[in-house]
Each structure stands twice: as structure tokens, then as C-alpha cells.
Structure 1
């Protein structure tokens, strides 16, 4: 491996260890695994053979590489999520205090690297290191939705060794194993005034100075875990210039274990006498869902190729977010009840010259969030339309620079989410996402 490749590999590894992810796709999946793919809305993912991202999309397509290949990519994800309160209340009567929270979208730099090495004419090995899921939202601590969420961060890091085998000139298969690390950090305000009214009664609560929304505390929960999964795929080339790929990426189960830290205002200290609202260990079970990807690549002329992709994701596995405390504290439960969702894209490549390929694409990404009652400020998700463009610049016989940009038009949406102390967050969301990607691809 030459010095440029070693430097790129080291830089991308450091970035993977240091960056948090934020989700631009539906749910909290991150499809951003290739700058070249970004430019065409990931149409034809795992079938075009243009880079090494097939490790993620379809390991069978690694067989399309005739030489060792290294990709290092950076994706700047810049979401915007603005809330407009239209009638949030406590107990259906008292207006919930606080502003709209500012822009909850948190920008992040997300890297990935993939390396493919042909071992012989039939067998190709590869390894990918990437971020398959993530989210990051942050609001002002005193905003109107503070009891539902203030800061939310989920990051995953996946190590994915893979191998492909060319069964015949027209059929290849591939498999991979994933070791995936996940860490989560969630915070929210706690209305100890309302809790005091409920547990102690109005008279005692009044003597202590506890009134609804007058004695806010804070809860922060952190945890992490490792999980295992796998992926597999098949690539069929029925004729020259036509490729069809089908791949499966498995679910990954976690039990995130860590700490729950409570900040309790002085007047609410008597509420901790029963061993609740005190710092303790906590855990939460979560499953990163499986998906199935169908990709098509069709060369239509010497200069043009058209591509398409359909991805199904089993988001129905995400039915609730439950934090289980190791003391007498009751579980914290957020009902999610998500639906399975589809991602559809179509795009094109245009060979402008021997050194320049232009890309373009559109996509429609369905939200798994079923209703306003399940749209929480941690993930204020909705259907989105992608518009993408990009270019691949061949700078030498062994090096290509890919750039891609996409704007995501997110449908306006509503929230009507009930909280644990009788509050209901009611309002509208205006959201959008800008995505910028750059990638260095090297033939070694």
C-alpha cells in the first residue's frame, strides 16, 4: 500500500472514532456510504461497480473489481428541524411554558472507508468501516418540549469484512460479517413540580414549593454495547451492460448498558427518599433493523447508464424506547410503533469525457413514523424527496475524486405527543437536509 493510501486510511479511521452521526434518511439509518453514490441518490447501489461501497450495499458486487481498490469518503450532513408550538399543554389545561427550542438539527461529518482485494479470478475479499445508523438532535434546555427530549445522540460504528465468489461469468455471490458498536446519550427535563403534586398531594407539594413546571430537574442516560450481524448478496449479469443485484443486511440486537444521572432541585429532594430519582445504572434494548436492497444498472449507450434502487427496511422492530433502571425507579417508556418503510431512487451516469463522469438522481424516502402521536422531538421524521447531483474526476490512472450533493425536501409534519407527567407536545415541524460528500478512490 502506497503512502497516500496509508495516510487516507489512517485519517478516515481517526474520523470514524471521533465523529457522531446525524440521520438524514428516514428513521435513523445512514445510507451515506459513497460520495459517488450520493451524486445519483444511491440509484444502482451495489450494482455499478464504480467504487468499493459494494461492501455495504451488496458484497457480491466486489467481484466487479479487477484490482485492489481503496475508497475514503467524508459526508457532511446538515439537517434542519424547526418546531412551532401550536398549543402544548400540561394536563390539557395549563399551557406548557418555553420557546420553540431553536433549530434541533445537528450537523456532523461522517466518514467511511472500504478496501477490496481480488485474491484470484473468482474470489475477492474486502473490509469496510462505516457508520450505518445515527441520530443527533439538540434543543434549548428550557424549550416547550423539554420533557420529551433536549439532547439525543445515537452513533454506531460497523466493521464489515466480506468475501465474494464469482460462480460463473454472469453470477456472483457474496457474504460479510459485521461487528457493530453502538453508543447512546439521551437527556430530557423532568417536571418534579407535577410529580410532587401527584406523589405528595397538593398541600404537601405546595409547602415544599413544588408546582407544575416550577421545579424542573434533568435526566441524562448513557449506554453502549457491541452487536453482531451479517450481510449477503447476489449479482446477476444476464447480458453485457445489464446488472441486477439483490442483497440482505441483518438486524443487530443491543442491550445498551450505562448510567442514569438525575439532577434534582432542592425543593424536590424529599421525592428521592424512596430510592427513586437517584443516580443508578440503566439499560435499554434496541434493535437496528434489517434491510433488503434491490439494485439495477443498465448501460444504454457508450456515454449513458441508468440505474435504480429499492430498499425495504424493517422499522417495525422499533416499537418502543424503554429505559430500565436498576433501582426502584419505574421504567421510562416512549411508544414508537414504527412501520416498515421503502426507499426508491432512480439516477443516471453520463460519460462527459475520459476523465469526467456526471451523476444525477432523485429518490423518495418513506418515513416509518406512523402518526403525529409518535413523532417525538428526538426523531421528528417524515417523508422526504431527494434531489442529487455529482461528478467523478479521474485525476490519474489510479486515482479518482468523487463529489456529490443532495438536498432533501422533508414534508411538513405535526406532533401530538403525550408525556409522562400529563403534558402533551403539540406543534408543527419544518425540516430539510443538505448533504455534501467527497471521496478519494484509489486503485492500488
Structure 2
């Protein structure tokens, strides 16, 4: 069975770091799975807290908050569920019929790796990272009647980055990084579309961190995601091509951290994702677009708290409201809706240098509405109208070591 996968990231650490990302973790096909600590607070404050090296994935400037080298690595397990309980399908020829699908999501593990190294005797800090920002995997059974709308859509995502940060003064730090982007994936619609492609691209990120004092700081970051040109085999409507263009959204994030008491801190994040850039999948060799989306810009807001129980134990929790980018067009291949994150986590420090982290989130998607049409023969079209239910359970584990 052929599908279309495209990924936007690249792990060259080992083949074991390759991953398959599941729909249901964040709105659109964004992933929030960069760390177990972030997962445990719904990623509230993640662009400035800097409690481990995973902060590179959100804001390179915050690396100056480290006074020694640190390594962090781990993984996030995602068990997602996408149900289409009520759907009506009108084929090109024939009467409207009822159809449904259950559990078209899946489960997977998404790994991550980070390293931060302050350069002794300078104001510079450098870092390396490997993680994922985007991905989805939605597969309908072969007997799903509306197979021109269902089929298989699989997107993989991994990011390999190098970053540097400079402390300007006691309050202000600036940072930047380069991202190596590799994409590979598949789309399959029976008798209509068959794509298998991969490719590479370069992105970048910039950020700033500002420390009001030891207990209060804010961070701001911008991440540029390029159009990914993937090479492969594309067949659609009797035409063929050897490449596909995939526009990826830029992201802006603002975070704050405020330690209000010796044992308690609050933190928050606002993230803006320019999903309007993801307007369609195209190929220069085809007469029409492969798939049109016309999404709108969206993002999330999250609020969390950390309780510093004692030198060995930390507890955290958070809530995120994650807004869907779907606007005038919705698609069964990437079912989407606004989502609510309920998160909790814990850190255990058995020694001065070692930390183990556990984070968990339960993600509840609001009921989504699908009304999608497809014209294969001029003057005629098929249509599906449906509601979708999306939910996910995620668990993250992480280990950090300070040298």
C-alpha cells in the first residue's frame, strides 16, 4: 500500500532516531513533543525556563542561562485516536450513503536529543539538537467507501539544528540557529493519487532572552520554515511528476517565567503559527494543485506552574488551548479542531548532576466538521460531510546530565 509521507526534519545521529509521527498531538500537523518537561507543563514557558537543554528547540538565546555543559535526551509516546462516527458520502454516481471510520490514528515514540556547551572565558554558548516539529499519520481501512477523501496520509518530521547564543549584558541575550530539514513521505488515494517523495531544505531561527532578575525572565523566538522541495514519484489524474513542493509554516513564540515564591513559579507561552503559508501541495510538472488547504494562521496559549518540593523533587502542571488552522476548507486527510491540553509532570534529581523527568498530557479535541468535495470529471463532484473526534494520550521520559 502506497501513501504520501513528508517529513520536515532530519536525524543523522542513528537510524534508531527515525520516527513516524501521529495525528492528534497538536493542531494542523504540528507536533509538541520536544521534551518530557515541556509535556508536563503543556509547554508553558518553554522558550525561557531553561531547566534542561531542550530549551534549544524553542529559543536558542536561553542557552546563556546554563553555566556548564548539559546533555538531555528522551522520547515521547503518543497514542492518538481519530474517529469519524457520523458521515454521509455522495459518490460521483449513485445515491448518498452513510459511512463511518474508527481509530484511524495510531501510536508511536518520538525521540529527542540536545546538547548545550558554554564556551569558557567568553559570552558565547553553543548547542546541537535533534527533534521534531511536524508530523501526521492518518490511515483509513481499504473498505472505507469514501476512499478518494480518506486513503492514507503519512508525514514524518525530524529537525537537526546547530545554535549559538551571546550574552550582551546581565539582562539581555541573543541567539540564532540553523536547521537542516529533510522530508520524506507518502500520500495515496485509490485510483487518483500516488506520491512518494523526500528532500532536504534549510531553515533558521532567532531569539532573545531578557532577565529582569534571578526570578523573572521572558523569551521571544522566531522560526523560519522554508518551502520543502521533495523529489520522488508523483502520479495524479493520468499525469506524472518527479517533485512536490510543501510549504511549511513559520512560528513565533513568547514565553515568561516568574518564581513567585521559593517553592513555586508560574509560566506561560503564546505561540503564533503562520498556517496560511500552508495553502496547497503543488508540483511544477502538474497542470493542477495536488491538494488545496487554504488554512488560516493559528497558534496556542498555555499556562503552567512548577512546585519545587525540595532539592530532589519538582512537580509541574499546565493547560494549553490549541487553535485549529482550518478555515473555509476542511479535509478528512488531516482532521482538525481546537484542542485542550491537560498536563502534569515530575522531575527527580538523584544527584547534583542527574535528572529524570516524566511528563503526561491528555489532549481533548473539540468536535470537528468536515464538508469536502472533489471534482474528478468536469461538471461533477463527490462529497463527504462528517464529524470527527480527535484525542490523544502522551507520555514523555527524559534524562539530563550536567557536566
Superposition TM-score, scaled by structure 2 size: 0.91
Structure 1 position 358 matched with structure 2 position 315: yes
Q: 1:323 to 1:139 in 2, by over 3 A?
A: farther
Greater share of helix: 1
Structure 1 position 289 matched with structure 2 position 249: yes
Tell me, in whole angstroms, the C-alpha distance in 2 between the residues paired with 1:260 and 1:166.
48
Computing the radius of gyration over CA atoms, which structure comes out larger, 1 or 2? 1
Map of 1:210 onto structure 2: none
Superposition TM-score, scaled by structure 1 size: 0.83
2:247–2:280 contact (8 Å) kept in structure 1: no
In structure 2, which of residues 339, 352, 355 is the aligned counterpart of residue 400 of structure 1? 355
Cα distance, 1:92 vs structure 2: 8.4
Tell me, in whole angstroms, the C-alpha distance in 2 between the residues paired with 1:67 and 1:227.
32
Structure 1 position 430 matched with structure 2 position 389: yes
Map of 2:203 onto structure 1: 229
Map of 1:390 onto structure 2: 345
Map of 1:376 onto structure 2: 331
Structure 1 position 259 matched with structure 2 position 233: yes
Tell me, in whole angstroms, the C-alpha distance in 2 between the residues paired with 1:359 and 1:15.
30
Tell me, in whole angstroms, the C-alpha distance in 2 between the residues paired with 1:12 and 1:393.
27
SS of 1:169's partner is: coil
Map of 1:315 onto structure 2: 275
2:132–2:157 contact (8 Å) kept in structure 1: yes
Cα distance, 1:86 vs structure 2: 3.3
Tell me, in whole angstroms, the C-alpha distance in 2 between the residues paired with 1:49 and 1:348.
14
Map of 2:6 onto structure 1: none
Q: 1:249 to 1:184 in 2, by over 3 A?
A: same
Map of 1:110 onto structure 2: 110
Q: How many residues end up aligned between the 2 structures?
A: 387
Tell me, in whole angstroms, the C-alpha distance in 2 between the residues paired with 1:378 and 1:104.
10
Per-residue CA distance 1:276-314 (angstroms, 9 max, x = gap): 637x44322112111111000000011000000000010
Cα distance, 1:261 vs structure 2: 5.7
Map of 2:119 onto structure 1: 119
Tell me, in whole angstroms, the C-alpha distance in 1 between the residues paired with 2:364 and 2:259.
29
1:58–1:233 contact (8 Å) kept in structure 2: yes
Unaligned runs of 5+ in 1: 1-9, 191-217, 263-275
Map of 1:298 onto structure 2: 258
Q: 1:167 to 1:308 in 2, by over 3 A?
A: same
Tell me, in whole angstroms, the C-alpha distance in 1 between the residues paired with 2:357 and 2:91.
51
Cα distance, 1:238 vs structure 2: 1.4
SS of 1:176's partner is: strand
1:117–1:124 contact (8 Å) kept in structure 2: yes
Cα distance, 1:102 vs structure 2: 3.0
Cα distance, 1:96 vs structure 2: 5.1
